[in-house]
Amino acid sequence: MDTKHTDRRTFLKSSLSTAAIAAAPLVLTARKGDAAQAQGAAAQPGAEPRIRFAAIGLNHGHINGMCSALTRAGGELVSFYAKEPDLAAAFAKANPKAVLAKSEQEILDDKRIALVASASIASERAPLGVRVMKAGKDFLSDKPAMTTLAQLAEVRKVQAETKRIFSVMYSERHENRATVKAGDLVKAGAIGKVIQTVGLGPHRELQGTPRPDWFYVKAQYGGILTDIASHQFDQFLFFTNSTEAKVVASQVGNFRHPDKPGLEDFGDVMLRGNGGTGYIRVDWFTPKGLNTWGDGRLTILGTDGFIEIRKNVDIAGREGGSHLFLVDQKETRYIDCKDVALPFAGKLIDDVLHRTETAMPQKHTFLAMQLALEAEAGAQRIGPFTPRS
């Protein structure tokens, strides 16, 4: 598959369309610690933004969802920078009020900007976050926020020194309404004490939209457990309420892409934390017959029941995504999550304004990435398998 520079423009345009469809109005108040939402409320024209933010690094279309979430929560995107002219041009068209900066440093020197969001090439995110924090600003990264344990150590060091926020947009939890609802149900004791999470993250290469070259270079994307599975590590820690955890076993393989030796198309992990256990499986084997890029699933097993989330599709026939099924000692229920609010971006802005940790504790952010990096680094290489004769 040829993945030249023109593919970045196609990929970004596709992601822009997806982000526009997925975005829903969200308004949050500016009071300290307040995450009250008004779903469907329109932004007040001429209102002063809660914070001003910028985007640096537009290599993944996730940047659109990140900026959309911050804008819905009261932030104002004032400027952006990308070293690739085609990516900058596409982003400018989608965000006409934002100014293209002449350089990264121009944004870092801009005293108006409180936070920088980035979806640059994965291996470049942590070094950028270090520069952002040293410039006195907070940082929101796409996942994975780093690709090596050395990068994690440097980010931890600089964050401790600067006291700035280094956060990660885990869209599977923060921007999925069923997953947000599941968090509320678990906190309320709907399934008792959580014992285990099972997180599945299947993917499919975009049809007719080849991914850029860096998606197939392990040193740049970090490996399948670092990249895709970072979502599942985050959810494992959150739903088991684990503050300590270790990787029990992990394995990765390339089963069907011999022409892309740097790609890992399968990986799985067993985890044990001080709040529960976990299993993760991620892959690039979504069949063409499914009407979405991946049947992402999360099962949360408790002592009194379980929750299953179908993040993108209900293969039983219900339309859309964010499907939640709850089974307890009384009944089996389907819960409609279409009106569930998405509080992450509003809480993050609260944290920027008030130096709190309501969106996601800093220790959680680092531990989720540590587990992903350790699982990748220690993974056994497997496959392809040879059938028995």
Mean pLDDT is lowest, of 21-30, 276-285, 365-374, for 21-30
Mean pLDDT to the nearest integer, 3-8: 38
- State yes or no: pLDDT of 32 exceeds 60: no
Mean pLDDT to the nearest integer, 321-333: 96
Residue type, 154: E
Sheet with 115-118, side-by-side order of all strands: 99-100, 75-81, 51-56, 115-118, 138-142, 166-169
Q: What percent of the chain has pLDDT over 90?
A: 81
Burial of 384 (0-12, 13-18, 19+ CB in 10 A): exposed
Give the number of other CB atoms < 10 A from CB of residue 353.
Answer: 15
Give the residue with greater pLDDT, 182 vs 318. Answer: 182
- State yes or no: pLDDT of 6 exceeds 60: no
Give the residue with greater pLDDT, 153 vs 8. Answer: 153
Note the pLDDT of residue 166: 98
Note the pLDDT of residue 210: 77
User: 27-37 burial, b for 16+ CB within 10 Å, e for fewer?
Assistant: bbeeeeeebeb
Residue type, 5: H
Q: Is this prediction's pTM over 0.75?
A: yes
Residue type, 212: P
- State yes or no: pLDDT of 41 exceeds 60: no
Note the pLDDT of residue 389: 60
Over the stretch 122-163, which tens digit does the pLDDT of each residue have? 999 999 999 999 999 999 999 999 999 999 999 999 999 999
Written as six digits, the tokens of 102 are: 């002449």
Instruction: Verify cis geometry, omega within 30 degrees of 0, for the bond prior to 144.
Output: yes
pLDDT band at 208 (very low <50, low <70, confident <90, very high): low
pLDDT band at 44 (very low <50, low <70, confident <90, very high): low
Going by C-alpha positions, the residue among 246, 280, 248, 232 that lies closest to residue 371 is 246
- Alpha-carbon gap, residue 176 to 170, rounded angstroms: 10
Give the residue with greater pLDDT, 112 vs 14. Answer: 112
Note the pLDDT of residue 1: 36
Give the residue with greater pLDDT, 319 vs 9. Answer: 319
Note the pLDDT of residue 223: 98
Mean pLDDT to the nearest integer, 69-88: 97
- Alpha-carbon gap, residue 188 to 335, rounded angstroms: 15
Residue type, 372: A
Mean pLDDT of the chain: 89
Is 160:189 a contact under the CB 8 Å cutoff? Answer: no
Q: Encode the chain in three state secondary structure.
A: CCCCHHHHHHHHHHHHHHHHHHCCCCCECCCCCCCCECCCCCCCCCCCCCEEEEEECCCCCHHHHHHHHHHHCCEEEEEEECCCHHHHHHHHHHCCCCEECCCHHHHHCCCCCCEEEECCCHHHHHHHHHHHHHCCCEEEEECCCCCCHHHHHHHHHHHHHHCCCEEEECHHHHCCHHHHHHHHHHHCCCCCCEEEEEEEEECCCCCCCCCCHHHHCHHHHCCCCCCCCHHHHHHHHHHHCCCCEEEEEEEEECCCCCCCCCCCCEEEEEEEECCCEEEEEEECCCCCCCCCCCCCEEEEEECCEEEEEECCCCCCCCCCCCEEEEECCCCEEEEECCCCCCCHHHHHHHHHHHCCCCCCCHHHHHHHHHHHHHHHHCCEEECCCCCCC
Written as six digits, the tokens of 145 are: 């926020």
Mean pLDDT to the nearest integer, 109-116: 98
- State yes or no: pLDDT of 24 exceeds 80: no
- Alpha-carbon gap, residue 220 to 87, rounded angstroms: 18
- Alpha-carbon gap, residue 311 to 23, rounded angstroms: 15
- State yes or no: pLDDT of 2 exceeds 50: no
> Rg of the chain's alpha carbons, rounded to an integer?
20
Go through the domains of the chain in sequence order and give each one's CATH number. Answer: 5-169+345-357 (3.40.50.720), 173-336 (3.30.360.10)
Going by C-alpha positions, the residue among 267, 169, 265, 261 that lies closest to residue 225 is 267
Burial of 279 (0-12, 13-18, 19+ CB in 10 A): middle
Give the number of other CB atoms < 10 A from CB of residue 328.
Answer: 16
Note the pLDDT of residue 377: 98
- State yes or no: pLDDT of 331 exceeds 80: yes
